[in-house]
Structure 1
Amino acid sequence: MVKTEHSEISTEEPWVLQDEIFDPKNMMEKLNRFADEEGLVETKKALKYAAEKHAGAVRKGSPYAGVIPYIIHPLTMACQAHALGIRDDRVLSVCLLHDVCEDCNVTPEELPFSKAVQKSVALMTKHREEGESEEQMDRRYYAALAEDPCASLVKILDRCNNVSLMALSFSRAKLTEYIHETESFSLPLLDTLRHRYPQYADAAFLVKYQIRSILETIKALLNHSGEF
């Protein structure tokens, strides 16, 4: 037992891990309300479309919690964007739709949304061209993203959400790989977003702070894992 001024804290029992930080029903209701109040027509439509396309899909959670509904991922991204002050209908829609093409057998051109939304979703949908190595694919992919402020921002929010909970389900090897990938591609994209598109500078600063804090914490724990 560890004694504090007010209580005793047990160090023998494991922490209860929380895969679902926010309730999907509450996020859905909140985003629907924002869409109505702020005239976000495509966001309103994307909420319903994404929920239908991802219905029944799950994300792998921690060994303690099992699986969680996949829709939590895009909903959290859209809520984070809105909390960061983003009121752009295109950005919020792309947050909600960014995985639909890759995961639900839909082409960007088939999305019943504006050409601008289709373009950003297409940029976020990763595919390997013939003869490409994984590193070549990543370099091409991130270079294309950097030319589109909406796709860049949504990709950064995507990585932020994935990084935030990766310690719950990733193996040590996967954690190491994801940290290297984030530092090699995602953080440089974030810096490009911050400097090239000043309208997103404040949001980029806050997201970078979150991502970098998580990475440094996990790296420290991995470095000293023999002591835990």
Structure 2
Amino acid sequence: MNQPQMRRREWMRYSSATLLSVTLAVSLAGPAAAQGKSATAAKADAGPRRILVLGDSLSAEYGLARGAGWVALMTQRLKEQQLPAEVVNASISGDTTSGGLARLPALLKQHKPTLLVIELGGNDALRGLPLASTRDNLRAMVKAGKAAGAKVLLVGMQIPPNMGPSYTREFEAGFKTVAQEEKVPLVPFLLAGVADRTDAADWFQADRIHPLAKAHPVMLDNVWKQLRPML
């Protein structure tokens, strides 16, 4: 074998070894790099959430000891299930959808929630306010939440037929209409399993409007069914 042939064979052997080394390095580093990237993404996805609850007396613990309402119970459940989320309860007794809409921009700016829970409308019905206005206000709040980068959960309500069957039906349907139009999850009825019980009178305070503390775990379960997949 002459000298040029020997040099060519040595070069080919060196090139093959180098290519094998590079291939192995890529094969080994590739999954590790991908795994590192996935871990980083997973860590970002698992970062703390901030849940803003915008509601009325049903969420503001009216007539209850502090910590007994469904929003406080939700904070406890999040901790028990080791779900990293902070809960801000911005509920005010007596609030209406127009009041919530007026308060929402400042709350979104201050708290920057990742998830907005809207539980309003009951006081609109108790006051006999126009149903179109209630729907418009709910729709505007949903839009504002989404524009701020938050997922939105709408909580529905039902009322006794005091205002007439037509008003009662249209009020309940308004929540579903807004949820469908805006493509957001809906809790059909916050008081399901409470107000529709045969012994419902035993689950409400003397005013027959605000549930007793024992009803709030049921209310949380109603919300949790829709909220948990959003976290």
Whose helix proportion is higher, 1 or 2? Answer: 1
TM-score, normalised to structure 1, is 0.31
Which structure has more RCO (C-alpha within 8 Å, separation ≥ 6)? 2
TM-score, normalised to structure 2, is 0.31
> Which protein has the larger Cα radius of gyration, Structure 1 or Structure 2?
2
Whose strand proportion is higher, 1 or 2? Answer: 2
